Structure 1
Amino acid sequence: MDRMIYLAMSGAKQILAQQEVVAHNLANASTTGFRAQLSALRAVPVQGPGAATRTYVVETTPGASFAPGPVEQTGRELDVAVLGSGWIAVQSPDGAEAYTRDGRLQVNANGVLTTGGGHPVMGDGGPITVPPDAKLTIAPDGTVSGLQPGQNASNVVPLGRIKLVNPPEADIVRGDDGLFRLKNGGAAPADAAVRLAPGALEGSNVNVVEAMVTMIGLARQFDLQMRLLSNAEANAREAARLLSPAR
């Protein structure tokens, strides 16, 4: 009897956790460069005397989907989309290097090129700084150039080159802040093969229809676990009635 209770109780709890992952993906269906989070359920035996046949259900997040998202033209000069595999290197709040596909670039009040989330974009020698009022252009190889007001195109000055990297997918992990980092820490080397599409943005790779179908399926699974618990309670009540002494 309690074997069914173990499975149903832990299964219902972990299905709720899996629903949170799917809901998080749906909430980011329109987030630029978002990578859908994956989730899975697995069985874990309970350790201890007399519990060899007991098993818990545990929800895990093995990683993220690295499938490319749709690229849409915006015409904005500071918008860039990473074509194919690759990442834009940024500086995380703790000063370490992290990676994103968010190409909504902008210049902050301190003249530093940042992403839409406010993370400084890394260049060859650190964050890229921009002169005041300079008109920026970004080349497919990540080179950022600036033109001062009143000057002609021949006076364009290179300001730096966005660090573009392409570490193996198995070597990177998503952080709680949505940025990706190397599992072992450190910084990935720049990869000259990674290219950008200026004037465009990559959308989220979340499949909304698939996520909604998954959410419905999880709701049905949760209902099944609740019915198992109800059946276990009914069986226990009936067993207690049968074993109780006659009056």
Structure 2
Amino acid sequence: MDRMIYTAMTGAKHVLEQQATNTNNLANATTTGFRAQLDSFRAVPVIGAELPTRAFVVDATVGTDFSTGSVQMTGRELDVAIQGKGWFAIELGDGSEAYTRAGNFKVSETGVLQTQRGLNVLGEGGTITLPPDTSVTIAKDGTISAVPNGNQVNNVQVIGRLKLVNPEENSLTRGDDGLFRTKGGVPADADPTVSVAGGTLENSNVNVVESMVTMINLARSFEMQMKLIQNAENNETKAAQILSLS
């Protein structure tokens, strides 16, 4: 009987954790460049001489859905989307590198190109500083050019080039901040084959309909686990009654 309790109890616990993951995916359905998180159940045997037939249900994080999201035209000069596979490199507060697909950049008060969270966007030579009173264009290879406002187009000044990387997906890990890092912490090399499109943004790859169906299925699964626990309790009560009669 306790075998049922082990399975139902841990199953209900991890259904709630999967529901939290699914809810987080839904909450980021409109977040630029977001990558959906994937989970699954797996069985883990309970280690112990007296418990060889018992097993826990564990929520195993499979990883991330790295499929590309749809691209939306914005026309904004600091919006840029990666075409195909690849990542933008950004600088964290501790000086380490992280990677994102969100290309809705902004300019800080000091002219530094940053993400919407205020993290510096990295170029191949470090951080990128844009001169004031200029119009910016981002080429397909990530080269950033600036033209002073009111000047002719032939006065183009090349500011730098975005650091675009394309490490192996299985070498990346997602942080609590939603950014990705290499598992060893070693910065990825720039990849000249990664291309971008200016004036566009990549949407989240979360499928809202699929996530809603998953939410309903998880709710039903949790209800089933609760019924199993109730059945185990009822069986134990009946068994105690029979033993007391004997």
**Bin of the TM-score, shorter chain as denominator length:** over 0.9
TM-score by length of 1: 0.97
Displacement after TM superposition at 1:150 (Å)? 3.2
Q: CA deviation at 1:161?
A: 0.2
Distance in 2 (CA, whole Å) between partners of 1:154 and 1:116 is 31
Match in the other structure for 2:116: 116
Q: Residue 166 of structure 1 aligns with which residue?
A: 166
Q: Secondary structure at the match of 1:39?
A: strand
The amino acid that maps onto 2:88 is I
User: Aligned AA for 1:40?
Assistant: S
2:237 equivalent to 1:226: no
Query: Partners in 1 of 2:234 and 2:245 — Cα distance?
Result: 19
Q: TM-score normalised to the size of structure 2?
A: 0.98
Cα distance between partner residues in 2 of 1:223 and 1:74: 44
Aligned to 2:53: 53
**In the aligned structure 1, how far is the partner of 2:15 from the partner of 2:222?**
6
User: How far off its partner does 1:41 sit?
Assistant: 0.7
Q: 2:96 matched to which residue of 1?
A: 96
Matched, 1:197 2:197: yes
Which position in structure 2 is the counterpart of 1:32? 32
- CA drift of 1:245 comes to 4.5
Q: 1:81-133 CA deviation, whole Å, 9 max, x = no partner?
A: 10000001111222101110001011011211012222211011111011122
Runs of 4+ in structure 1 off by over 6 angstroms are none
- Please give the alpha-carbon distance, in whole angstroms, between the structure 1 residues aligned to 2:133 and 2:94: 29
What amino acid is aligned across from residue 6 of structure 2 in structure 1? Y
Q: Partner amino acid for 1:104?
A: N
1:1-247 aligned at under 5 Å gives the runs 1-245=1-245
Distance between the aligned counterparts of 1:110 and 1:60, measured in 2?
A: 44
Identity rate of aligned residues, in percent? 57
Q: Which segments of 5 or more consecutive residues in structure 2 lack a partner in the other structure?
A: none
Per-residue CA deviation, residues 17-76 of structure 1 (Å, 9 max, x unaligned), is 000000000000000000000001100111112011110001021210001100011111
User: Secondary structure of the residue that 2:239 maps to in structure 1?
Assistant: helix
In the alignment, the residues of structure 1 paired with residue 65 and residue 178 of structure 2 have an alpha-carbon distance, to the nearest angstrom, of 13
Q: Distance in 1 between matches of 2:148 and 2:72?
A: 29
| Matched position secondary structure for 2:103 | coil
Structure with greater strand share of residues: 2
1:173 maps to a residue whose letter is T
Q: Aligned Cα RMSD in Å?
A: 1.0
CA deviations over 1:145-192 (Å, ceiling 9, x no partner): 112233211111111100001111111111111111111111111111
Q: Provide the aligned length of Structure 1 versus Structure 2.
A: 246
